[in-house]
Each structure stands twice: as C-alpha cells, then as structure tokens.
Structure 1
C-alpha cells in the first residue's frame, strides 16, 4: 500500500548510487546476492536474541534490495536478475519469523501464523504475475518491474516496518505477528478477487 509513496522518496538517491556502482562495473546480481548473504545474518541474530544486530542486517538487506534494481536500470536489466530478486526476497521474508521462533520457542505459533500469511501473499502475487504475463498485462504505473507487480495492503514497505517494530520491541512479537499476519490474509483475499476479476473471461 505504501510502496508507491516510498519509491518516490527513495528512488532518486538509489538511482544515483546504483549508477555509480554500475560505472564501477558492479553488477545488479552481485548486489542482490551480497544483500541476501547479509540478510541471512538476521535470522541467526534473532535466534541468538541479538535483536539490534538483526535489525542492522535487515536494513542492510533492504538497502541492497533497492540498489540492485537501480544498478540494473543503469546497466542492463535481465530476467535472471528479476528472478533472483523476487525469490531471494521471499526467502528472506520467511527467514525472519523463523529466526524469532528459534530464539523464542514460545513465539512459534505466532511465527507460524505470520509465515502462513506470507505464503498467501507470495503465492497470490506470483500466480497473478504468471497469468498477467500470459495475457500481456503490465503494471508500468509502479515503475519498471521484472514482472507484474500487484499491490495490496501489505507490501514491502509495510513488511519491513513490521520487522523493524519486532526487532525494537521483541517482547511484542506475538502481537505484531498476529496483526500483520491478519493483514496479509486480507491482502491475499484482495489479490484473489483481483485475479478473478482479471482472468474469469480469459
């Protein structure tokens, strides 16, 4: 929901940084993979209940996630880059609740509820993108994307805000997980409705 606004604020500095990296011969896929490697430190830190370290890894991962697209736009976007970006994003998102559950087994149920919500948003997002590509639909109003970008109540900006809140106030993780998980299911339902509307006569 907040992604379009966030992109307008962060894209200009990211594009400048991405162009500088591209001029130095740093590829978008290298940024994606480096960011993912940094992001994997977050669930490890969460398992150790080192919440501020986890927060730092999360923020660095998200910075790299913004930079890889900027580098690609300044050089040459590729299908491989788009594929790696979306797959590693979803793996990273899933690893965060897992880290909380490992560190605090009493958080396992809310973590599972949040993961189930992520499964709904991810599958509905990707399924819509598959059939949008088949029928030549695009979402260019959100800027250049590797695949159709179907919005919703819980997008990247909201997800990161949730993760930041969980790291700053870890004792409240169950409340954040149940609340955000519910919002994810609302997003999933809205995307299913959009899919029915878009594809029922095709």
Structure 2
C-alpha cells in the first residue's frame, strides 16, 4: 500500500531524479542489486550470530545498519534502471535478490529461538504463495498488454508490498521480544495479500478481451 501511495507523490519523482542523475553513469542497476543482496545477506548472518554472544544487541545494531543499506540499494536500482532502460533480466534479478534477502533475514531470526519455528515456517510459506500469485499475474498481464510499461515486471497493489515488508523485518530485528507476534502478523498479512492478488486476477482476467477467451498457457 505504501509503495503505491509513494509512487504518486512528488517526493518519489524528486528522489528518483536526484539519485538517477547522480549515479546512473557510475554503476549499473544489476551491480546495485547485487550490492543490496550482499549487505542483506551479511545483515541476516549478523542476526543469526547474535545468539552466540552475551550482548546480542551489538550484532543486532550492526545487522540493522546492514539491512537498511541493503534496502536503500533496493530503492535505487530500479531508479538507475529507468534512466538506462530497464531490462527483463534486471527485473528478474531484482525480484530474486529481494526475496533472497527477506527469506534470509527471517531464517536468521527464527534460528535464534525454537519458539519462532512455526510462525517462521508460515511466514516463508506465505511469501512463496504471494510471489507465485504475483508472478502469475505479471506473466498473464504481459500477454494481454502490448503497451510499454515503466517497469518490466507488473506489480499489482496489495496489503503487504515492499515497504511494509521492510518495516516488519526492521521491527523484528530491533524488537526481539515481539518477534513471535510480529512473525504471525506478518505471515497472516502476506497470505491475505496473496488472496487479494488472486481476487485482483479474477476481476482483471475473468472476461473476454478483444473477442478472445482468456486461455493462457503457462507451460512455456
């Protein structure tokens, strides 16, 4: 929800113009994406290792900084891509790295406490269901629409988008005593988002377009 609200704001336009002009000739979008992946994985590792030292908050602070840097890189890789012309591979790499970081952070969090195992499993399962619905909708939408889009990957609006996910993950890092509740809430909201996207697909595609039935072959 937050992502779609920001996408219509003047702040987003100013932010993209600033960073796009500053760095688009200095580094490629894919390199930025991989840097975000690197810092995100390092942050997840720090979370996992925090259980082995007496003052775990030292590593949690380090992990928080690393994760924030990772998420910052994630916000500017797309900006630079749009300045240089986005590519299919770049969009796919971005999605892969984003989910890898999110899953790694959740694994790092649940590795610290056996009580977090079940909400952690449900959180990971919800992510799988949500990304499946999201990618399926994107694939079908590309078959129906030949017009060029600003992004190479189609993003349908949902309760839990990237910004909400970032907020939850940061909250889980800095509030260890709230992790059980936060993981359950996260899992439920992500699952509801997957259902929301299925509903969106029903209304978007359950009709005839240009006199043709919506028979989509996913085998290719």
Query: Does the TM-score normalized on the shorter chain lie above 0.5?
Result: yes
Query: CA-to-partner distance for each residue in 1:127-164, whole Å, 9 max, x for gaps?
Result: 11011111117795xxx211111110000111011011
Structure 2 CA distance for aligned equivalents of residues 28 and 127 of structure 1? 24
Aligned match of 2:210? none
- Relative to the length of structure 2, the TM-score reads 0.83
Structure 1 portions without partners, runs of 5+: none
Aligned residue number for residue 163 of structure 2 = 157
1:90 alignment partner in structure 2: 99
* Off by >4 Å, runs of 4+ in structure 1: 137-140
Structure 1 or 2, whichever has the larger Rg, is 2
Are 1:181 and 2:187 counterparts? yes
Q: CA deviation at 1:5?
A: 2.6
The RMSD of aligned alpha carbons is 1.8
- List aligned pairs for 1:98-113, cutoff 5 A: 98-113=107-122
The count of residues paired between Structure 1 and Structure 2 equals: 198
> Corresponding residue for 1:118?
127
Measure the CA separation in 1 of the matches of 2:2 and 2:138.
20
TM-score of the aligned structures, taking structure 1 as reference length: 0.90
Question: What SS does the aligned partner of 1:172 have?
Answer: helix
- Aligned to 2:200, which of 176, 190, 194? 194
Deviations 1:11-31 (A, max 9, x none): 52243123211233x111111
1:64 maps to 2:64: no
Secondary structure of the equivalent of 1:152?
A: coil
The structure where helix makes up a greater share of residues is 1
Question: What is the Cα deviation at residue 199 of structure 1?
Answer: 2.2
